[in-house]
Amino acid sequence: LNLDSHDKQSLLALFKEALQQYRCYLRKSHFDGKSINEFPVKSPVLNLEDIEWKTLLCTGLVPRMRYCL
């Protein structure tokens, strides 16, 4: 597979948009309308390990969780 610069930029934009949509889905389905003590500590989705879940929480998936260790 041989991609030129324009193709690579297009794919990168597509993946960034998909990731943003997925993060929005996670936020809406697992955090919106809940208090911090109701947030799942372990990953509720099959394709994310618990450590990946915690990383998402602590890096701003949910603004209220940015103080994580």
pLDDT tens string 18-31: 988 988 898 888 88
More confident residue, 38 or 12: 12
Task: Give the torsion sign (CA, 9, 10, 14, 20).
Answer: positive
Q: Residue 65: what pLDDT? A: 66
Which position has the token pair 């602590």? 58
Instruction: For the full predicted model, state whether its pTM sits above 0.75.
Output: no
CA distance 48 to 42: 10
State the pLDDT at residue 10: 94
Query: Phi and psi for 44 in degrees, rounded to 5?
Result: -85, 0
